[in-house]
Amino acid sequence: MGPGDIIGKEFTCFKFEPIDNLILYDSRYQRLVGRTAVVTEINSSHPQYAYVKIISPVGKSEHVHYPTQMIIDQIEYGNKSIEELLNEIKYLTSQLWKQKI
């Protein structure tokens, strides 16, 4: 999945560590954690960030930037726990070993 594939997709707002000095994770982002957002576009000047729209419970929309790759990761892997991901890795590894025998 590439950056263009996430336009129009929903994801759950999350906490993130800034990947550079372009975005400061502050209280505005903190209060969005857990809310649903829709990716509206990939920033053309800084494609490492996607512009997203969050609809508040009262219908007012808010726009912020989120790290593109982190959104892709969430959409691809969902909200699986580490344990679930490890179990999938173990299963896939066992399938590879079976194919070699």
Tell me the pLDDT tens digit for each residue of 69-97: 999 999 988 766 677 778 888 888 888 88
- Confidence class of residue 101 from pLDDT cuts 50, 70 and 90? low
- Confidence class of residue 41 from pLDDT cuts 50, 70 and 90? very high
Q: pLDDT tens digits, residue range 47-65? A: 999 999 998 778 788 999 9
55 CB-near residues (< 8 Å, 6+ apart): 36, 61, 62
Q: Is-above-0.85 flag for pTM?
A: no
Between CA 57 and CA 35 the distance in angstroms is: 10
Radius of gyration of the chain (CA): 17
